[in-house]
Amino acid sequence: MFATSWTYLAADYYAGLEVVAMVVAILIILSALDDLIIDVWYWIIKIKRHFSKQIRSYTPLTPEQLCQKQEQAIAIMVPAWMEYDVIAAMIENMVTVLTYKNYVIFVGTYVNDAATIKEVERMRRRYKQLRRVEVPNPGPTCKADCLNWIVQAIFLHEQTMGIEFSGVILHDSEDVLHPLELKFFNYLLPRKDMIQLPVLSLERKWYELVAGTYMDEFAESHGKDMTVRERVCGVVPSAGVGTCFSRRALLALNAESMNQPFNTRSLTEDYDIGNRLAHMDMRSIFAVFQVQFDVKRENWFGSKQNNPITINMPLCVREYFPDTFRTAYRQKARWTLGIGLQSWDQLEFRGTLAAKNFLLRDRKGVLTSLISIFAYLLLIQFLLFQMAAYAGLWTLYYPPLFSVDGWWPYALVFNVFALISRVGHRAYFVTVFYGWRHGLMSIPRMIISNFVNFMAVSRAWKLYLSYLFAGKPMVWDKTMHDFPSAEALVVQKQRIGDLLQSWQAVDQVRLSSALEEQMHLKIPLGRVLISKGWLDDETLAEAIAFQSDLARAVLRAETVIQYAASLPFELCSQCRAIYLGNNDQGKPMLGVTSPLAPESLNQINHLLGSSPLQYIVRESEIDAALLLLSKESGPLSTKVAAPPKTPLLGDLLIERGLIDHQVFEDALEKYQPQHHGRIGDYLVNEGIIDRDAIEQVVLLQRKQQFGTLSECTDNLELQAA
């Protein structure tokens, strides 16, 4: 009796599975048709462009053309909540790689995020083009709130400095920029109101499967879908990074929303703002411009060393996305919540038929991501039933709903074809950007992606329903970010002069003059700049440490005296190196003004018995230490002052009461060496001080430029750490 009941229950259950499978199959067909239409559109666009170029003898845009256009003022927005571990590296990389001068970076930080504030302030002291914007509301609020405060700070900066930014760029604290990015935006402004660059994941190792799904999805989405979207319906949603807004667009958004351009009620303010601009008839573009990237591609077989190669791909923003299952689905849950669910309430369902279709396409994921997992479960159960039937454990079943003569076989064939198309397109676009190995790996990663998206949609539904029925607010679910190490990037090292100029520490005119004098005197460029009073040795030390990737150190008088006998004075003087003892691991340490030449390092290795760790110290500290070691200065205290460097022009003006300190600081905020020339001429032209006063102070500065040895000795001090 029990066996008979079990047999009928199994038959009923199997019949129910057939009904569910039929519903799932129909839904998959509808989704697949949508995908296939996009595929066909893409290849039509690609083929049409190819033949258009042949017929019209089309000449593509070149980097040289980008550089010919005069630089307009551009602002960069970087919202930062709990980004203390990546924000400094991101800013350093940005300033180092960009081949653009006329820009200002605005980083938004929260009052209750001291760690991030500390890092941004450290960078602000280094880079004159960096401004920190304080969000008065304790974080985390939402990204839109932080951006709104940054936008207001940008407009206030314009009023204060008397300038207008032609464009405002949105970036995150994990973004890796291409050198030509701002040149490209500058070329398109102000003709375009919103410019969106492709966004791609930095290349991951083959076994980082979850992180690899981002490589796959963004490669297909930004390699195909965004191109079709722009061409077919003219609506380009912002990706949240690599987006440039024209001044006209920001002013229109401000006017529409009472100075709140970014929607604080949305968790995906980027998607929201792109659609709003389209409704205002703003000119948006998904910009594809081929450039070269220097990348380090992992060797999967044999040697473990990464091989630097140069590849051609669209100018894009690259970054690391989450690499764990939990962080990935939580981040995607926020995207799904904003794009797939909140947009039903906040975005009007209007526009052309194509635009409406893309709105539906954006939202279908809240259902299709669940269906894909149901399809896996159905497949497993059908296989189990077939195995039971093959073993003779299950023999009773109702007449199948899936008739061989009906529509079902055609539906199965279509779904199989659609699946092959999906797999083929995914592998193709991944291969284009990352090579054939990752193209093959994208196939098994599609299964991982389905499970990540299933969990993301499940979490999004949970949060949304809690908001609707329990009034639970939807908050910013912070994603912790990674920034690539030097090993993961190929960054061309800048010469020290170029680096100082990119930091706006010295202008082109003074740099050229110093380079000429350096060639004549055969001494380091930094020492020429310091001797002329055009650069302070603290900035020079920071630049050399950054360029050489060495840590900084501060000399102590007692340390110099303690280890005075460890190295010959002549060698210390010749190499400009001071022995600082050993660290906790027993490695010898040297204070140097710049990395030692191999021959000098070999001499010191021989004397110390081990290769030393090098630390960058200031020029004035080395000068003071060498004077201390030379014993030419007579009795010295253990704590004496550093040799005086040439007074800077501003210090002399303030010291003699010729200019107020605050007035001088305000003038420096507006001073741009590449446009205004020498600081003295700028102050005269602005009516802040008269020409006679400047000439007197410059004469005094030159008299104090070179001090005697006895004058240095009287004021010698090695600073304590």
Is residue 563 pLDDT above 50, yes or no? yes
Segment 49-60 shows an average pLDDT of 72
**Could you tell me which of 694, 655, 654, 666 has the C-alpha nearest to residue 678?**
694
Q: How confident is the model at residue 668 (pLDDT cuts 50, 70, 90)?
A: low
- The mean pLDDT value of the chain amounts to 82
What's the rounded Cα separation, in Å, for the pair 501 and 692?
29
**What digits encode the pLDDT tens for the residues 438-481?**
999 999 999 999 999 999 999 999 988 888 888 777 666 666 66
Cα 501 to the center of its chain, rounded Å: 22
Segment 265-284 shows an average pLDDT of 86
In the sheet that 130-135 helps form, which strands lie side by side, from edge to edge? 130-135, 103-110, 74-79, 167-170, 243-246, 194-196, 284-286
Give the count of beta carbons closer than 10 Å to the beta carbon of residue 286: 22
CA angle 15, 19, 25 (to 5 degrees): 135
Residue carrying the six token digits 């004098």: 517
Residue carrying the six token digits 């279709």: 357
What's the rounded Cα separation, in Å, for the pair 359 and 272?
11
pLDDT at 643: 40
Q: Can you count the helices (H) and strands (E) in the chain?
A: 30, 14
Q: Which long-range contacts (CB under 8 A, 24 or more apart) does 178-182 make?
A: 178/97, 178/291, 178/293, 178/315, 178/316, 178/317, 179/97, 179/98, 179/99, 180/63, 180/66, 180/99, 180/291, 180/315, 181/98, 181/242, 181/315, 181/317, 182/74, 182/98, 182/99, 182/100, 182/103
**What digits encode the pLDDT tens for the residues 181-232?**
999 999 999 999 999 999 999 999 889 999 999 999 999 999 999 999 988 8
Segment 120-142 shows an average pLDDT of 87
pLDDT at 492: 54
**Helix or strand or coil: residue 46?**
helix
Segment 522-538 shows an average pLDDT of 75
pLDDT at 717: 39
107 DSSP β-pair partners? 78, 132
Which of the residue ranges 34-43, 255-264, 382-391, 681-690 would you say has the lowest mean pLDDT?
Answer: 681-690
Which of the residue ranges 75-79, 212-216, 509-513 would you say has the lowest mean pLDDT?
Answer: 509-513
More confident site: 213 or 713: 213
For the chain, percent of residues with pLDDT exceeding 70: 83
Cis previous bond, 595, omega within 30: no
Which of the residue ranges 9-13, 27-31, 57-61, 258-262 would you say has the lowest mean pLDDT?
Answer: 57-61
pLDDT at 29: 92
Element (H, E) at 332: helix 325-336
Q: Which pTM was predicted?
A: 0.72
pLDDT at 293: 85
What's the rounded Cα separation, in Å, for the pair 410 and 413?
5
Which of the residue ranges 274-283, 421-430, 699-708 would you say has the lowest mean pLDDT?
Answer: 699-708
**Could you tell me which of 123, 132, 125, 70 has the C-alpha nearest to residue 95?**
123
Contact at 8 Å (CB) between 113 and 81? yes
Separation of first and last alpha carbons in the chain: 88
pLDDT at 54: 64
- Name the token pair of 590: 């040297």
Q: What is the 3-state secondary structure (H, E, C) of 470-508?
A: HCCCCCCCCCCCCCCCHHHCCCCCCCHHHHHHHCCCCCH
Which of the residue ranges 3-12, 299-308, 315-324, 487-496 would you say has the lowest mean pLDDT?
Answer: 487-496
What's the rounded Cα separation, in Å, for the pair 260 and 248?
15
pLDDT at 515: 74
Is residue 705 pLDDT above 50, yes or no? no
Segment 293-312 shows an average pLDDT of 73
Segment 663-692 shows an average pLDDT of 70
Give the range with max mean pLDDT: 325-329, 594-598, 617-621, 623-627: 325-329
pLDDT at 644: 43
pLDDT at 632: 41
pLDDT at 538: 79
**Helix or strand or coil: residue 425?**
helix
Element (H, E) at 365: helix 365-390
Element (H, E) at 283: none
Q: Answer left, alpha or beta for residue 561, where phi above 0 means left and psi between -120 and 50 means alpha.
A: alpha
Is residue 373 pLDDT above 50, yes or no? yes
pLDDT at 198: 95
Segment 166-186 shows an average pLDDT of 94
What's the rounded Cα separation, in Å, for the pair 90 and 79?
12
pLDDT at 468: 84
Beta strands in 552-711 (DSSP E): 577-582, 588-592, 613-616
**Helix or strand or coil: residue 77?**
strand
For the chain, percent of residues with pLDDT exceeding 90: 33
pLDDT at 488: 55
**Helix or strand or coil: residue 312?**
strand
296 DSSP β-pair partners? 308
What's the rounded Cα separation, in Å, for the pair 68 and 57?
23
pLDDT at 58: 65
Residue carrying the six token digits 């936008």: 151
Segment 56-73 shows an average pLDDT of 85
Cα 442 to the center of its chain, rounded Å: 24
Segment 639-652 shows an average pLDDT of 52
Contact at 8 Å (CB) between 266 and 346? yes
Q: How confident is the model at residue 710 (pLDDT cuts 50, 70, 90)?
A: very low
Which of the residue ranges 132-146, 348-362, 364-378, 421-435 would you say has the lowest mean pLDDT?
Answer: 348-362
Helical pair 661-670 and 143-161, crossing angle rounded to 10 deg: 110
Write down how long the chain is. 721
DSSP 61-76: --HHHHHHSPPPPEEE
What's the rounded Cα separation, in Å, for the pair 315 and 398?
59
Q: What is the 3-state secondary structure (H, E, C) of 596-618?
A: CCHHHHHHHHHHHCCCCEEEECC
Q: Answer left, alpha or beta for residue 242, where phi above 0 means left and psi between -120 and 50 means alpha.
A: left
